[in-house]
């Protein structure tokens, strides 16, 4: 179990949504990049930007420790799908991650479980890591169905992508009622769902213990520490706060402290001393 924990490096990923402009993107990315070069981080950091800004993002981040990617991808490899962007196109711009199945896409664009699964599979084929979002609505939570809903969403996508290579996929638990509302899940509630998702992953083979599960939904500098120190929360998917350099940097720092603390306690534990 300790070995497994060490292998799940925390990931802090920004989701810009439909925000940005060439001028402000440059300021934001340069500020974050600058911060990463002054401190060596024990976490992975990336930004998922609107597709037209992938070229600019690549130019500004190449040579840094930051990764980048997109917020959606076509369920098809290529062809007559006007307006769609293929996974291979995203890869050509150096993307490493792509968000799939975000609740805004499921709700406003009618994305079905099959479409989300097909998108995740296209991403993997092109060498990208799909960040698959799952999460319950407030109605589902109030009905006591939160755990079942997210387990079903996870199983649906695993049916498409298989479980041969757990590092090929990242899961993001984003309760719909917490996104953009300023009302985050409590650390205890988030941890409970993450533990359920982890148990679901384990049912698909022990290797799936290495799959990272991020939390998303109103993560801010003031709640990041509490969430990121939970045992089964392997990082953060951040919307609003990823657009403010100082907020995003503060959350990266919280993740780094959480990662360093867990490494130290593992080493003490490995040495046979109780932490």
Q: Which is nearer to ligand PGA, 117 or 239 (CB)?
A: 239
C-alpha pair distances (Å), 249 with each of 12, 39, 139, 181, 201: 10, 11, 34, 21, 30
CB of 242 to ligand PGA, least distance (A): 7
Count of Cβ atoms closer than 10 Å to residue 161 Cβ: 19
Q: Using CB under 6 A, which of the segments 29-37, 89-97, 172-180, 259-267 binds ligand PGA?
A: 172-180
Q: Which is nearer to ligand PGA, 15 or 250 (CB)?
A: 15
CB of 3 to ligand PGA, least distance (A): 30
Phi, psi angles (nearest 5°) of residue 77 = -75, -45
Report the distance separating Cα 177 and Cα 108, nearest Å.
15
CB 247 within 8 A of CB 204: no
Q: Of residues 201-260, which lie at the interface with ligand PGA (CB under 6 A)?
A: 216-219, 237-241
Q: Which is nearer to ligand PGA, 18 or 273 (CB)?
A: 18
Is residue 130 a contact residue for ligand PGA (CB under 6 A)?
A: no
Is residue 176 a contact residue for ligand PGA (CB under 6 A)?
A: no
Is 174 one of the catalytic residues? Answer: yes
CB 32 within 8 A of CB 46: no
Is 102 one of the catalytic residues? Answer: yes
DSSP string across 63-81: TSS-EEEES---SSSSSS-
CB of 272 to ligand PGA, least distance (A): 41
Q: Which is nearer to ligand PGA, 24 or 37 (CB)?
A: 24
Cα dihedral sign, 151-47-164-263: negative
Q: Which is nearer to ligand PGA, 117 or 217 (CB)?
A: 217
3-class secondary structure, 116 = helix
3-class secondary structure, 168 = helix
Q: Which is nearer to ligand PGA, 243 or 262 (CB)?
A: 243
Q: Which residue among the candidates 136, 147, 174, 194 is catalytic per the annotation?
A: 174
Radius of gyration of the chain, Cα coordinates, nearest whole angstrom: 18
CB of 44 to ligand PGA, least distance (A): 17
Q: Which residue among the candidates 102, 111, 147, 194 is catalytic per the annotation?
A: 102
Is residue 15 a contact residue for ligand PGA (CB under 6 A)?
A: yes
Report the distance separating Cα 191 and Cα 233, nearest Å.
7
Residue nearest to ligand PGA (CB): 239
CB of 237 to ligand PGA, least distance (A): 5
Number of residues that bind ligand PGA (CB under 6 A): 13
Burial class (CB in 10 A: 0-12, 13-18, 19+), 204: middle
Q: Of residues 152-171, which lie at the interface with ligand PGA (CB under 6 A)?
A: none
CB of 201 to ligand PGA, least distance (A): 20
Phi, psi angles (nearest 5°) of residue 274 = -70, 135
**Chain residues in the site for ligand PGA (CB under 6 A):** 15, 174, 179-180, 216-219, 237-241
Give catalytic residues, as residue numbers: 102, 174
């Amino acid at each position: 179990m300790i070995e497994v924990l060490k292998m799940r490096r925390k990931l802090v990923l920004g989701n810009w949504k439909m925000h940005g402009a060439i001028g402000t993107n440059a300021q934001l990315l340069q500020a974050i990049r600058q911060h990463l070069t002054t401190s060596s981080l024990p976490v992975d950091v990336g930004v998922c930007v609107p597709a037209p800004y992938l070229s600019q993002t690549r130019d500004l981040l190449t040579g840094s420790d930051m990764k980048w990617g997109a917020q959606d991808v076509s369920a098809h490899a290529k062809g007559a799908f006007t307006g769609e962007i293929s996974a291979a196109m995203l890869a050509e711009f150096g993307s490493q991650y792509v968000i799939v199945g975000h609740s805004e896409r499921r709700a406003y664009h009618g994305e079905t479980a099959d479409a989300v699964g097909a998108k995740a599979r296209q991403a993997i084929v092109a060498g990208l890591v799909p960040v698959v979002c799952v999460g319950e609505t407030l109605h589902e939570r109030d009905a006591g169905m939160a755990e079942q809903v997210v387990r079903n969403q996870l199983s649906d996508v695993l049916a498409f992508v298989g479980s041969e290579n757990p590092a090929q996929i990242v899961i993001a638990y984003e309760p719909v009622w917490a996104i953009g509302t300023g009302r985050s899940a409590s650390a205890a509630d988030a941890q409970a769902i993450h533990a359920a998702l982890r148990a679901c992953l384990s049912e698909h083979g022990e290797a799936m213990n290495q799959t990272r599960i991020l939390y998303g939904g109103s993560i801010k500098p003031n709640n990041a520490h509490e969430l990121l120190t939970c045992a089964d929360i392997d990082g953060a998917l951040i919307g609003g706060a990823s657009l403010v350099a100082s907020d995003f940097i503060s959350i990266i720092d919280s993740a780094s402290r959480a990662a360093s603390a867990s490494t130290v306690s593992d080493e003490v534990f490995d040495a046979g001393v109780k932490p």
